[in-house]
Every structure is written in structure tokens, then in C-alpha cells.
Chains A and B, each alone.
Chain A
């Protein structure tokens, strides 16, 4: 398969471009495309607008913003791993006020659909972030990052405990316009992700974003010390895709109608299709943006062609398709007079 970097049509060939209805939704939020960026992999959209028209994809999911400006962790913050990478950024960002004034305003002006990711150190902080966003123009949805592994205290990974996860979501829900969807971003580093999903849904989450990075570590064999200044980091990229697809599958099995934003190592249209078939209503392209800054638009186009090739008339028809019942058993052919063939 060849990739045409700036192509908006199908890959290769000169056949006329076929299109199907690619629209989807995350609860009340309708999206013309099922491909979004992933939080922490697209900043606030501006840099990627040089590589593709950010208004053409489903939405920009912005880097998690906190109440106050934050420097993040010391460097080195990154290590390359097989088909992936480890990061330990530590939520560097300008703080919510600057974010609203500069980044969100730019996105609104640009006409991009925007899902704002928020992260807090306490339940109270999440509530405050939500109330600041309530009056800000240009917020199409909120993703609640309760699963960033790069925090000082493991107790701050709220998504590891059903009760604390629920507390955070309740605080956000209370301070958010009821029409604004809230996606809870979950960690795969739990024994039972379905139990966490259930807890956040009961607390008022519109849907779930799965998955955040997995907690990982690399030792530098030259220095013979941890490679990252933060010691541990979050593992992302195609290496984690099977884990992510499994999480989407399990949550879809338990919740037939829950909006699910799937992510974890999406590199191609076929990767995105895996998530859609497993039950995701939409997918985010994350770490692969570092490899190919045009990838969200490319993945959209490749996914559309992959759906057409498989005979789908709309994207919606493919959502959760891997959960369908057994294929009908083919009717046996009428018995032939020529039994020699069967005897063999």
C-alpha cells in the first residue's frame, strides 16, 4: 500500500473516488468523521493545521490542561520502544485561563470541533476546570483525563479505582452544561476496566475514551539507570493496539449503546477499522502523529476505502460489527449422484 501524503482521495490508482457516509456521534455530539486526534499528541491543533485541514477530521482532542500553568517533568522525557514510545511529559501546559484565551479561542476561530481534555490533582480541581469551560465558547465536549500515568502519586491515577473515578466524573458533570458530552479517559492498567467504565457511566459520563498509555519503563544500558528523568513513563504506539482493542471490545460487550472513543496505536485505516469493528464509535490517532503529522486525515481516507472494500454503506454499519452473531450456516449443496468426490 502506498500513501500519498497530500492525497485526499483513495490511495493510488486512478479509479474515481467513492465516498460513503462517515459521520458518527459521541452521545449528543455529531461528528462528520470518526477520526480524531488524541490528547497529548496534537497540542491544541495549530501545529498540525500545517499538514492537513483540522476542520475536516472529527475533532481535535487537546492536550490535557490543568488549573495552573505546569512545567512538566525534567528531560529526558521520551524513549523509543519497539513499535512505540515511552513518554514522561508530566502534563506541561499553560493552565486553563491561558488555554481558554489563546488555544481554545484559536480553535473556535479556525472552526475546528474541539474536545477539551482536562486533568486535575484533586476532585475539586476537576470541578473548577469544568466550570471554567462551561462559559468558554468552542467546547464541543470534555474528555476527563483520570488516567495520566505521569503523576507523582499513583493515587492520582483516579481511573485505577471505581469510587474515585466516579467522584471526579460527578464533579465534572455537576459543573458542565448537561448538553456537553463528557468522555472519561480510562487506564488499561486495571484488573477490570469494565467495572471502571460502569462506575464512571453511573457518575454521569456520556461515554469513555479508551485507552490511555500503559505504565512502562526503559533502562538505559549505557548509563545503567532509568532512561527517563521521571523513571517511569506511559507506553503508546502500535505496540499497545491489541490491548486497546481488547478494552474497547470488553466495554462494548457490557454496554451495547455506550459512546466509545477508541485509541491506542492507530496507524492505518485498517487499524482504525479494528477499533470500529470492536465497538468504537470513533477513534483517535495519537503517537502515530509524531511519525506522520498528516496521519489523522490519511487514516480517515484509508478507513473510508477499507469500509467500501468490505461493502459497508455507512461507517455506522461497521460499529461493533465484530460482535454480531454467528454467520448463517451455508445451506449444504444438494446431494450429488457422483459420490466418488465425497469419498475422497
Chain B
């Protein structure tokens, strides 16, 4: 069950194009698993920016002088994320978490491929650690538009058997997309599970490749949310259920991690006509 707490900012540091905030989050960190997210209130109690911003939980420390602390990775896109990047030590933040359904971990020692796009690498650190603790081999691919927009590649290298970097402009690693080199890695690693977090088009392509190589995929989506706790119904995606029927499901409570082959990627932003409750064309 998620809780709402006042957290204290312990540190804000730059990392490439991003800001990493360390925040006390007593009660949240103990429950956090890889893939969970938190929402943060923006601008204080009188703020004109009403909607909370959602962030994948990057790292947690459950012990230490400050009790539980967590890290989030903020990319500045607008007023809200700018406000967060401007926070300083001892500022207070309103946190709700842990939210969502986390990544499902394999019961057996299988090979896993992790793929992160931009700051989508954030939830992969904890995941890589826990996979390795279970004896799973972890091969990682990280990609971004430019070197500056790669997040945490050095740390990920430490956590992975191999790390491959791609950038759109070739400023670091292989020039191209993560999905350009994924098929080759799938062949070499014989991975049973592919974990991915990043932009929707990347997730769509990763899910397809995973399916092609008969691997199970776990994709953490980033969809616009108003509440993050399951009451507003803004963050829905067309998802195919176990029964083969498509429903519009909430990314916040039924996600953010979905099985890649269950998401109707190319129809996001539409209501597929065979969705439960889809509008029926009625003649008058």
C-alpha cells in the first residue's frame, strides 16, 4: 500500500543532462521494489501546478543516519521539473509511494537483457542488482540522443556482464538506436527475459524483438498521469488481458510495468475498436 510522507531533500546533483535528488522517504523505501515509482507534489501547498510528477525510484537506502532515503532522476521538461531541479538541501517534498506494479523477477537463474533509453535507465540499477543476487546474467544496453542524455552508464557497467552504449548522434558508443543492436545481443545471450524502460517507441520495438526471440519482456511505460494512485483514469493504455480481451488499463496501478506482448503499442492514443466498452458507431 502506498503512503504519503513529507520528505527532506538531502542532496541535488547534476548528472549529464539530469538532476538526481536524494530525499528522505521514511516508510516508502522499505516497501520499494525495482520498477516502483513515486509522485512528488510541485511548488508547495499554494502551488498553481496541481498535478504531481511521477518518477521511477532509482535507488533506495533503507538504513543510515536519515532512515530511508530514495533517489529520483529528473529531466527538466517544463515548470514542474524545473522547480524540482531547483530544490536545495533541507527543502521539503510531498511524496507518495511506492506506486505501481514493479518488474517481475525470474524464479530461475536465467539470462536477462536490460535496456534503458535516456533517464529510463533509472529503475534498472536496483533491478540489475537484484537479478545478479539471484544468479542471473545481466547484459545491458543503454541509449540516448546524445552522450549527455545517457544516465548512469558507469554504474550500470559495474552491475552488468556487458554494457553496450548507443547514441543517435554517435557522440558515444555505437551510432544508432538500442534496437539496432538488440537482435545481435539476443542471439548471443539467449536471454529469457528482456527488461526495458524508456520512450514508448523504443519499448514497442524492444517488445517486438523480444517476442521474435521467444523471450518474455517487461516494459516500464511513461504515460502522462494526473493522480498516480488509480483514481483519475488519464494514464490508460490498450492492454490485452490473459483472456485475450483488450481493456484500457491504468499505467499507474496496473502498470507501469507491462508485459511487452500485452501492450497494443501501435494503437496507443486510440481506443482499438475491439476494446471492452469501445464506442459503437450508431446510425441515427
Contact = CB atoms under 8 A, between A and B. Distances in A.
Nearest to A78: B234
A87 B226 CA distance: 9
A82 B236 contact: no
A79 to B, nearest CB: 9
B233 A92 contact: yes
A41 B50 CA distance: 14
A18 to B, nearest CB: 23
A78 B50 CA distance: 12
Interface in B178-214: none
Interface string A2-42: 01011000000000000000000000000000000000111
Nearest to A42: B231
A71 B279 contact: yes
A333 interface: no
Interface residues of A, number: 46
Contacts of A292: 4, 41, 94
Contacts of B235: 75
B278 to A, nearest CB: 5
B248 interface: yes
Contacts of B48: 82-83
Given A5-B4, A43-B230, A291-B41, A71 B276 contact: yes
B271 A290 contact: no
B229 interface: yes
Contact of B236 (A51, A72, A80): A72
B275 interface: yes
Nearest to B49: A80
A83 B227 contact: no
A69 B276 contact: yes
Nearest to B1: A50
Interface in A61-79: 63, 68-78
Contacts of A80: 49-51, 80
Nearest to A121: B282
A89 B234 contact: yes
B239 to A, nearest CB: 12
A71 B275 contact: yes
A77 B4 contact: no
Interface string B1-42: 111111000000000000000000000000000000000010
B227 A293 contact: yes
Contacts of B237: 75
Contacts of A78: 51, 224, 226, 232, 234
A308 B48 CA distance: 28
A87 B232 contact: yes
Given A71-B277, A74-B270, A80-B50, A50 B236 contact: no
Determine the main DSSP class of A at the interface with B. loop
Contacts of B1: 50
B227 A75 contact: no
B229 A47 contact: yes
A229 interface: yes
A237 B237 CA distance: 25
Interface in B249-284: 253, 268-271, 275-279
Nearest to B267: A74
B41 A85 contact: no
Given A5-B6, A80-B51, A290-B51, A75 B224 contact: yes
Contacts of B236: 72, 75, 77, 92
Contacts of A152: 279
B277 A95 contact: yes
Contact of B277 (A6, A68, A82, A85): A68
A84 B50 contact: yes
B57 interface: no
Contacts of A93: 277
A291 B234 contact: no
A290 B228 CA distance: 8
B136 interface: no
B137 interface: no
Contacts of B5: 5
Contacts of A43: 230-231, 233
A35 B101 CA distance: 31
Q: Rank and list the top 9 A-B pairs by shortest CB-CB distance, nearest first.
A: A69-B277, A78-B234, A290-B227, A70-B277, A71-B277, A47-B230, A43-B231, A83-B48, A77-B234
5 contacts: A42-B231, A71-B277, A75-B235, A78-B51, A291-B52
Interface of B: 1-6, 41, 45, 48-52, 80, 94, 96, 223-224, 226-227, 229-237, 247-248, 253, 268-271, 275-279
Given A3-B45, A293-B4, 20 more contacts: A1-B45, A5-B5, A41-B231, A51-B229, A63-B233, A69-B277, A71-B248, A71-B277, A72-B248, A75-B236, A76-B234, A80-B80, A85-B51, A92-B277, A95-B277, A152-B279, A238-B50, A290-B52, A291-B52, A293-B227
